[in-house]
A and B are shown apart, each in its own frame.
Chain A
C-alpha cells in the first residue's frame, strides 16, 4: 500500500541524512561519522520505544487470538479439550465439513445479498444526501449532525427498536402499510422477508457513515471546476455525472471497501432481530459461526473457527482487489 512506499522513502531519506552526517563529521578527523550514527541510532531507539507497546499489543491481542483461531480450525475442539489442551489434529477436515454442510450455501448467499444490498443502498442514499447537504442552506449543519445519530447508537439499541417497529401485529411499519392498504408483512418471522428486514435496519445504521465521508469528499472538490462547467453550459445532472462523480472516485472506493469490511462482520443486528432465522433464511457466515460456537449448547468451536477464517479470507481478498485497482488507477 501507500504506507509501505512512504516507509521506503522514509528509509531512503534517513539513509541520505546519515551519509550527509558522515560527510560533515569526516573533516573533524575523530571517529568519522560516529556521532551522527549515534544520534541516528538513539532516535531509532526512541522511535521503537514509543511504538513497541502497540507492536506487543498487536502480537498479544491480534496475532495470538488469530493463531488460536487457526489452531482451533485445524483440530477437533470441544469445551473439554479447551481445558485439557489436547485436541486431535484434523487438518482441513473441518473446512471440508463446513463446505459440505447444508447451511454453507444459504449462509454464503445470504452474506452476499446482505453485504451487497446494504452497501449499494447505503452508498447511494449517503451520496445523494451528501450532494443535497452540500448546497449549504440554512440549518444544513445541524441537520447533518442529527443524521449521525443512527450511527452513534449502540447496535443493540437500533436492532431492538427495529425489531419492535417491524413486529407483525403491533409494529408501526405494518400499521403504516395497512393504512396504504398493504396487508401485514411478517418481516421477522417469514423466511421471505427476514433478510430484507435486517438489511433495512443495517442500511439505516450505515447511511450516516457514507454521508459524512462523501460530504468531506465533495468539500475537497474545487468549486472552480464546477463553475467552469456551468459556464460551458453543463446542467446540474451533467455536472454531477461528468465531473463530481468521477472526481469522487478515490473517496468512493475507500468508502465502499470500508463498508464491505464492516458489513461482512455484522453480527449484532441480525442476531437481535432474527437470530439468523427463521431456519437459515437470514443466517450469514458471521451468524453461523456464532451459532456453531457460543449460540449452541454443544459448541463446535472448530467448525465455528473455520467459518470465521473463511470470512477473513473473503475480507482480505476484497482488500487485495482494492489495492490492485488503486495501483492501476494511480499508474495511469
Chain B
C-alpha cells in the first residue's frame, strides 16, 4: 500500500512538472541573455543568466505596476461595497424579486467582455471618462460583482438564523446586525471575493486596452502589451515583466490557497 502511494506521488509530481513547465520557461527566458535567446536548441537552464530584463522592468514598468495596484484595490472596494449587502439581503432578508435578481446576475456573466467594452466606450466617450482610472475601475468591477454577490449569498446563508434573531432581540436593527454580526462572520467570503476581484482587475487587458489606452494611469497588462508590440527582440524583458505581473497570483496561491479553491467551487456549483 505504502509503495503504491509512493508511485502515485511520483506520477503526480511528473504531471505537475509537465503542467507547470510553461511557468518555468517564462522564468528561464526572463533570465536569459539576449545573445542566447535565438540559440538552437535553447538553454534549458539559465546558464550565464542575466538580470538585465528585470532591471528594464524596474526602470520602465514601475508606474504601470503602481497603476495596476491602485486599480485593483479600487475594484476590490467597489465590489465589496456593492456585493456584501446584496449577498446578505439575498441570503437572509429575502426581498421580493430576489430570485429574479440572482437570475440576472447569472445572465450578466454571459455577456462577452468585448460587448461590454463597446457599450462602455460609447458611454464613456460622452461622459469624458475615457482614459480615467475611475472609468476603468467601474468597468473592471463588472467582472467581479455578480460573482461577489453569489459568493456572499452562498456563505451568508450558512449563518444560523438564531444568531440574527438574538441580535434583533438585543435591539439591533438590520444595519447593526449586518455590521456587527454578519460581516465579522463572513471573513472568509470577504477574503475570497477580495482576492478574486483584485486578481481579475489586475489581469484585465481588454477593458484597459479599449477604455484606458493612453491615460496617465495605464495598468501593467498594457505595459506588457506595448513591449510585445514594440521590441520583438527583448524577450527577456517581456518575460521579466510577465514574471513580475504574476506575483499577485503567486502570493494569492501561497497565502490563500484554500479560499481560491473554495471560490472556484462556490462560483460554479452554486446556482
Q: Pick the contact of B257 from A51, A139, A145 — CB < 8 Å? A: A145
Whether the pair A47, B89 counts as a contact (CB closer than 8 A) is yes
Of A23-31, A113-121, A153-161, A186-194, the segment with at least 4 beta carbons within 8 Å of chain B is: A153-161
Q: B71: CB under 8 A from chain A? A: no
Q: Which of A54, A133, A164 contacts B29 (CB 8 A)?
A: A164
Q: Which of A54-71 contact B (CB under 8 A)?
A: 54-55, 57-58, 61-62, 64-69
| A155, B228: Cα distance in complex, Å | 14
**Known contacts A147-B16, A156-B203; is A54 also within 8 Å of B149 by CB?**
yes
Contact A47-B94, Cβ < 8 Å, known A65-B120, A149-B253: yes
A297 at the interface (CB under 8 A from B): no
The reply to whether the CB of B269 lies closer than 8 angstroms to some CB of chain A is: yes
A interface footprint on B92-110 (CB within 8 Å = 1, 0 otherwise): 0111111111111111111
Q: A58-B105, A164-B29 are known contacts. Are A148 and B99 too (CB-CB below 8 A)?
A: no
- Per the 8 Å Cβ criterion, residues 219-258 of B in contact with A are 220-221, 224-225, 228, 235, 238-239, 242, 245-246, 249-250, 252-253, 257
Most buried by B among A4, A254, A267: A267
In angstroms, Cα B238 to Cα A67, docked, is: 39
Q: Which residues of A contact B149 (CB under 8 A)?
A: 54
Asked if A212 meets B16 with Cβ closer than 8 Å, knowing A43-B93, A265-B112, A304-B118, the reply is no
Is there an interface contact between B261 and A148, defined as CB atoms closer than 8 Å? yes
Least Cβ–Cβ distance between A209 and chain B, in angstroms: 6
CA distance A143 to B15 in the complex (A): 9
- CB distance B26 to A157 under 8 Å? yes
Who on chain A is nearest to B178 by CB? A50
> Given A4-B103, A50-B178, A308-B112: A138 and B271 within 8 A (CB)?
no
Asked if B82 contacts A137 (CB within 8 A), the reply is no
Q: A68-B119, A161-B22 are in contact. Are A51 and B95 (CB under 8 A)?
A: yes
Q: Flag whether B37 is at the interface (Cβ < 8 A).
A: yes
| Pairwise interchain contact B108-A58, C-beta atoms closer than 8 A | yes
Q: B51: CB under 8 A from chain A?
A: no
Q: Is B63 in the interface zone, CB < 8 Å from A? A: no
Report yes or no: A83 in contact with B125, Cβ–Cβ below 8 A.
yes
Q: What is the CA–CA distance of A151 and B94 in the complex, to the nearest angstrom?
A: 35
- Other-chain residue from B85, B100, B111, B138 in contact with A312 (beta carbon distance below 8 A): B111
Highest count of chain A CB atoms <10 Å: which of B104, B111, B250, B265: B111
Is A213 in contact with B12, judged by CB distance below 8 angstroms? no
Q: B58 interface residue, CB < 8 Å from A?
A: no
Q: Which residues of A contact B238 (CB under 8 A)?
A: 160, 164
**Residues in B16-52 with C-beta less than 8 Å from chain A:** 16, 19-20, 22-23, 25-26, 29, 37-42
B86 x A316 contact (CB < 8 A) = no
Contact flags B186-228 to A (C-beta < 8 A → 1, else 0): 0000000000000100110110011000000000110011001
Residues of B within 8 A of A319 (CB): 107, 110
User: Could you say which residues of chain A place their CB within 8 Å of the CB of B56?
Assistant: none
Please state if A54 and B26 are interface contacts (CB–CB under 8 Å): no
How far apart are the CA atoms of A132 and B252 in the complex, in Å? 25
B117 within 8 A of A: yes
Is the Cβ of B112 less than 8 Å from the Cβ of A286?
yes
0 or 1 for each of A1-30: is its CB under 8 Å from B? (1 = yes): 111111110110010000000000000000
CB–CB B205/A268 < 8 A: yes
Interface residues on B, range: 35 or more
- Any chain A CB within 8 A of the CB of B185? no
Using Cβ atoms and an 8 Å threshold, which residues of chain B touch A179?
41
B151 at the interface (CB under 8 A from A): no
Of listed A8, A62, A132, A212, residue having the most chain B CB within 10 A: A62
B268: chain A residues at CB < 8 Å are 209, 213, 254-255, 258
B65 located at the interface, meaning its Cβ lies under 8 Å from any Cβ of chain A in the complex: no
Q: Which residues of A contact B107 (CB under 8 A)?
A: 316, 319
Q: What 1/0 flags go to A152-195 for Cβ under 8 Å of B?
A: 11111110111111000111100100110000000000000000
Decide: B37 and A170 in contact? CB cutoff 8 A. yes
Which single member of B25, B119, B138, B205 contacts A165 (CB below 8 Å)? B25
Given contacts A65-B116, A175-B41, 17 further A-B contacts (CB under 8 A): A46-B89, A47-B89, A47-B93, A50-B86, A53-B82, A54-B86, A58-B108, A68-B119, A146-B20, A147-B19, A150-B23, A151-B264, A161-B22, A294-B209, A301-B118, A312-B115, A315-B112
Can you name 24 A-B pairs with beta carbons within 8 Å? Answer: A14-B94, A50-B95, A58-B101, A65-B120, A68-B119, A69-B118, A129-B15, A132-B11, A133-B12, A139-B9, A148-B253, A154-B245, A156-B203, A157-B26, A162-B22, A165-B22, A170-B38, A209-B264, A286-B114, A293-B121, A301-B121, A308-B118, A311-B115, A312-B111
| B residues lining the A interface (CB < 8 Å) | 5-6, 8-9, 11-13, 15-16, 19-20, 22-23, 25-26, 29, 37-42, 81-83, 85-86, 88-90, 93-123, 125-126, 138, 141-142, 145, 149, 174-175, 178, 199, 202-203, 205-206, 209-210, 220-221, 224-225, 228, 235, 238-239, 242, 245-246, 249-250, 252-253, 257, 260-261, 264-265, 268-269, 271
